[in-house]
Structure formats: structure tokens, C-alpha cells
Structure 1
């Protein structure tokens, strides 16, 4: 019983603030995001309007996700999760989908994203062991990303995926640093929860197992990894097929349809979509476009989406940031924790940039990978801890990027509020 109690306490210490400093970080973002989300929920209807099925802002499917969890092919088990979320929100709003309902949904997102930022802070502080000043700068940088700002009040799959992936990366880093294996039950639970919300992400939970100590030198350890992976896959597949009433052909048919639908946009050059939407739009807001939408039942509404960048400034920002990211990767190439982060990021690059799935709206997928930026920047700073001049240079470059990010995203958010005031 004492062992179980210890694991239970450790689990809560992993997720929630466990020191005074961590509590301050969590409360800071909770207040900032809470004010933003509360204001939008109370004064506007855009977070949830029963007449608007999807695409009210930046291609998010708020209503569909809240009511159904999304398509079963891409989001196998999110139906059950959002039943719980919706039920709690309705309890708070006394059964009405009104302002109180939106307020509750916004606060669920706010708490989740604040916990995600906390996971990044814990990783930087406990795994990389950066100086606190750099820790604070990096989480403020991450906290001001377009993805984290939008997800902080948006009830979407990406909101909860962001938290689960940051939590898993932090947990896996702890295990790898201690040269311990990830238990089979933890791996299975992670696969079901992370892959259950977005199916493609299930592959990411297997990456850390490839870097466990001596698995390619010891057949017993290799076999143990294989068994844990197979156990996770079997659990996931059986639950998934049960969710589909074992109509497995539906998976292939729907997946093929969705791939054709979300990967055939040719109106914008591929290189520009990669820079402006995939690498850029998740961090730095681009220009906005307002489009006419309708719900096929006679209700017309306005939707706002992102356009490609229209000036050289954002492109330079993104290119410099990517140089720093890949610089960090090659500088720390032999670091298994960095390899885990980068391989995870590479999977999203393959899906969206090479296979082009959803590339024209890649800015909505940031919850799957945007957290790699502060982590890889943290490892870059760490690699030059014994070189004051280079560390000063990197800090100066980072601060310039930070100021540009804050300025750009603040101005773009004022445009977003203009849109809300005019139409919602």
C-alpha cells in the first residue's frame, strides 16, 4: 500500500506544481489565460455557438468536438472524453449551452494549457537544469505562441493533446535520465489516451523506448521493449475496433477520403504553406482573411483564417528560429533526450510537409509539436553553458525574437478582437 501511495503522490507531483516556484508559474499563466478566455466566453459567442458547425476561427471545429469528440477515424476515443467535458460544462451552466457553458469550456482549456506550460517549465528546470532567468524567458516565449494563446480558450482535441504530449515527454525524459524503462501499463495508458485523442500521435509514445539503456545490446531488454510495445498496440487496437463495432474497413475508407480532402489544396505554393502555416502559423500569427460561411441549414456566418505572411519580417523570424532549432539538434546529436524530441517533431514534418495532410491549415496542428521549440532552445543554451560569449550571443538573438513575437502576436490579437466585436 505504501508503494502505491508513493506512486500516486509522485503522479500528482508530476502533473501539478510541486514547489512554490512552480505554483507561481502555473498561477501566472492561469490568470493571464483565464482573463483572456473568460472575457471571450462572456462577451462573445465564438467559443461555442450551436448554429456554427466548424471553422468560425482558424479552422477549429469547436462545436463538433464538444458534441462528438470529432471523427472516430482520427480521434478514436475522444468521444468519451468530451462526453465528460461537456457534462461538466452543462452541470456548471445548469443544462444550458449559454455564456456559462462557454465560460466552463474556456476554463477547462485554460487549466489544461497552463499545465502544459508548467510541464515545459519543469522539463527546463529539472531535466535540462537551465538558470531560472532562461527558464522564465523560454516559457514566456512559449506562452505567447499563437497556438498556446488560441488553445488557452478553445475546446479542441489539440488543447488536450498538447498537455498529454508535454506530460509524456517530461515523464519519458525522467525515466531515460534515470536509465529506467517505461512500465508497460504506463506505455499502454499513454498510447490509449494520446492516440485516442489523435491517432497519429500514438507512434510518438514508442520513441523513448528505442533509447532505453542497452536494448540493442541485450536481447532480454530488447524483447522486453517489444512485448511492451505489442501490449500497447493490442490494447489500443482492440478498444479501437470495439469502438467501430469491428467494422475495420471503415478506417481505411474514411482515412483515404480525409487524406484526399485535406491534402489536395494547390492555391498556395508548398514552400510558402510550410513556412507560413506549419513552421510559422503555430508560433507567429500571420495575416487574417475573413470568409463567408454557412451551416447548410440557412444560417450564414463569418469565419476567420490565416493567410501566408505578406512581409519579409516573419519569414526571417521563422528562418532564424529554425536555424536555432536545428543547430540545437546537431549540437546535441548524441543526447538521447534531444533525439526523442526531434524524432517526434520529424513525424509531424513527414505527415504535414511531405505527405501534405492538412498543410493548408497546418497552423491548427500546433498542439502536436509546438512544444519542441522551447525544449530544443533549452538544450541549445545548455550546450553552451561553459561558453559565456556564445551564451550571451544566443540570449541576445533569442530576446530579439521574443520581442518580435510579443509585438506581432499582440497586434494580431487586437485584429482578432475587432473580428469578434464586429461579428460575434
Structure 2
């Protein structure tokens, strides 16, 4: 038991000097950003503003209630702990200290999720440190990571849990070991509990366990682990709503109708600017008038589609690199797991159109696929120095453009909160 606890601790936290440096670096960078916003502005948490203060995140609503049960069935319990701990730190007041605590919880979690990506590149793909650092640095300035580093939201913790399980399952499969029943159940309850559709991703690695479809015993064991996980999840879900299961279908249908019938923007532009683009490269911002349904009016910031051809080229090149990495390693099971997980979100948002007009906020469900597939692309050319130099040059140019664009957009974000949230 002690050895398992130590292994779990080493899996989550830094277990080497370079991992420690990576973690501390991002803790400091994101910490400075989040601390400044929390201490000087009320945008992270304002008891009068339940949702949509910036980029359609539901900060106050999530912190106080965990969000709607049909999409986030168990987050109510989780955010009770988060809120009470933040209140303990702030002495029971929802003031700047309360906001600072919330921001630092997000900072730590996002830094740990980036560490998981670094560990995957280092321990699973086994890339050289310099390439690992370049990919992680590029990934760290994705718009989703920047915003979630100070945002108390389901997505913040979902990103960490998904990257953690991606790393853990890759290690188990590489060792030709099965994912244990308790690990699968814990992942299903935590990942699915924060966002219900993500529970599907927990079962994907099970399909790639060695000789699963060649042995009835192994197949039966996998079925048992899957059913046990689903049973645990369903029990906790139904307990959350007092076993009034008829409410699930009704509320889910209303949510689907609400978030899937937007026709003001062409579908192709929502897919490119929001789903593939907005969670990486900030787009233009629009200020909207909002109200909390109780007479309080406030301003909200949302993303628009790209107004220049350059961002479309950036996203296209990045997608080409990602798909290149996928097809170069098509026969690699770990790569298939990443892409199938990504494909689940493509189906939900791009095909079924759920939340497509705000899909830039769902980036936490899949953006980790980009650095991992870039890592596999580098791996496939590990014996070709010229190709490695070519890839590094391309990634370097993308990195510079991403950094400049997102820095400029963040100055616009600060202008917004300076004007409306001091």
C-alpha cells in the first residue's frame, strides 16, 4: 500500500530535478498573472455575477453550486470542498483573499496538468529534454491554459484529470499491464463527475490492453471493470439527484437545444475559429451586455471569429503537424488512444454542434492532444536530424506568433477588466 501511494505521488508531482524546475516555473508565471488579477479585480469571483463575465465561463455559479447536474453531475461535491477551503483561507469572506485562493488552486492544477504533458513526453515518448521543453513551452501559452490558470471552473480540473489519466494509462499499456479496477473506477467517477461526456475517454485505453480480444478471461475482466466503473458512476449520479432519473433526459434535452441551435455564424467558421482555434490562439473580443436575472447588469467578454487570414493559416499548419504525427505513428496504440479521445469531442461539438458557438471554452477536454501528437511526430523522425531541424523551425515560428498574438489579446483582456471590474 505504501509503495502504491509513493508511486501515485510520483505520478502526479515532480519526481526529478527537471520536472521540479518545469513545475515551479509555471507555478511562478501563472501565479503572478492570477495573483495580480485576483488582488486588483473582481472578475474571477463576484457574488452578483453568476456567469459569462469572460469567455462564457460560469465562475460564481461553479464555485457555489458546481454547475448543472446533467453536464457536471458530481462537481457539486467537489466545489463544496474548493469553496470551503477558499473561505477558510479568507476567514469566511468572499473578498480579494478568497479570489486569490481560487486563483491559486487553478494555478496549481494547470501547472500540474502541464507537468503531466511534460512527463508523458519524457517518460512515454522519451524525447530529448530540449524538444520536450520547446513543446511544453508552446503548449503552455495556449489560450485555454492561460485563462484556466486563474479561473475556478470545471474545465480547469478536467484538464488535469484527463492529462493525468492519459499519462497513467500510457505507462500501464507500455508495461503491458492492465488498468486496475479501482484506478478505472476512480478515473470514471472523477472525470465523468466533472463533465459527463468525458467518461467515455476513460474506457478507451482499456480497448488497447494486450491480447484483450484473444483471451476470454481478459475480455471478461475488462467487461467487469467497465461495468463496475459505470455502476459506481451511475449510483453517485442518481444519488446526487435523489434518484429522480426522469429529470436527466428532460434537462439534457433543454441543454442540447440551448447550446446547439446557433445560426448567426457559419458552421465552418465556428469550427475553425472556436473549436480548433479559440482554445489555442485568442481571437478578436466582443463586449456584450449581460444581467444576472435579478436586476444587476454587467459587461461580458466573448470571442469573435478570426478577422484576418493569418490565424487561419496558423491553425491549418498546426493541424497539419498534428495529423502528420498521427499518421506517421498510425500503428502505435498510444497514438490511437489520443486521437480517438480527440475524435469524441469532434463528434460532440463539430458534428452534433453542442456548444459549437462557444467551443473555445471546451478546449480543456482535448488541447493536450496537440503537444502529445507533436511529440509523437518528433519521435517518428528521431533518426533524421534534418527533419528534426525542419520541424523545430516550423514550431519555433508558430511559437513566436502564438506568443505575440496571445500577449496582445491579454492586454485587451486587461483593458476590459480595468474598465469594468476594478
Please indicate the TM-score interval, normalised by the length of the shorter structure.
over 0.9
Deviations 1:173-222 (A, max 9, x none): 00000000000011001000000000000010000000000111111111
**Which ranges of 4 or more aligned residues in structure 1 deviate by more than 6 Å?**
none
Report the counterpart of residue 199 of structure 1 in structure 2: 196
Aligned with residue 283 of structure 1, among 280, 283, 291? 280
- Indicate whether 1:97 and 2:110 are aligned: no
Report the counterpart of residue 252 of structure 2 in structure 1: 255
Deviations 1:354-397 (A, max 9, x none): 00000000000011111110000000000001111211111111
Gaps of 5+ in 1: none
Report the counterpart of residue 296 of structure 1 in structure 2: 293
- Indicate whether 1:10 and 2:15 are aligned: no
Aligned with residue 68 of structure 1, among 24, 42, 65? 65
Q: How does 1:321-360 map to 2 (within 5 A)?
A: 321-360=318-357
CA distance, structure 2, for counterparts of residue 93 and residue 396 of structure 1: 47
Q: How does 1:353-392 map to 2 (within 5 A)?
A: 353-392=350-389
CA distance, structure 2, for counterparts of residue 235 and residue 187 of structure 1: 11
Gaps of 5+ in 2: none
Q: How far is 1:341 from its partner?
A: 0.4
Report the counterpart of residue 135 of structure 1 in structure 2: 132
CA distance, structure 2, for counterparts of residue 256 and residue 225 of structure 1: 32
- Indicate whether 1:52 and 2:49 are aligned: yes
Q: How far is 1:305 from its partner?
A: 0.4
* Deviates further, 248-257 or 390-399: 390-399
Q: How far is 1:238 from its partner?
A: 1.3
Q: How far is 1:9 from its partner?
A: 0.3
Aligned with residue 77 of structure 1, among 74, 79, 102? 74
Q: How does 1:105-124 map to 2 (within 5 A)?
A: 105-124=102-121
What secondary structure sits across from 2:287 in the alignment? Answer: strand
What secondary structure sits across from 1:304 in the alignment? Answer: strand
Q: How far is 1:244 from its partner?
A: 1.3
- Indicate whether 1:172 and 2:169 are aligned: yes
Report the counterpart of residue 210 of structure 2 in structure 1: 213
TM-score (ref. length: structure 1) = 0.99
CA distance, structure 1, for counterparts of residue 18 and residue 394 of structure 2: 27
* Deviates further, 212-221 or 142-151: 212-221
CA distance, structure 2, for counterparts of residue 296 and residue 71 of structure 1: 17
Deviations 1:234-259 (A, max 9, x none): 11111111111111111100000000
- Indicate whether 1:145 and 2:106 are aligned: no
Deviations 1:280-318 (A, max 9, x none): 000000000001111122211110000000000000000
Q: How far is 1:43 from its partner?
A: 0.3
CA distance, structure 2, for counterparts of residue 306 and residue 242 of structure 1: 37
- Indicate whether 1:396 and 2:393 are aligned: yes
Report the counterpart of residue 238 of structure 1 in structure 2: 235
Deviations 1:382-422 (A, max 9, x none): 00011112111111111111111001000000000000111
- Indicate whether 1:159 and 2:156 are aligned: yes
What secondary structure sits across from 2:290 in the alignment? Answer: strand
CA distance, structure 2, for counterparts of residue 299 and residue 232 of structure 1: 43
Aligned with residue 225 of structure 1, among 214, 222, 225? 222
What secondary structure sits across from 1:302 in the alignment? Answer: strand
* Deviates further, 87-96 or 385-394: 385-394
Report the counterpart of residue 266 of structure 1 in structure 2: 263
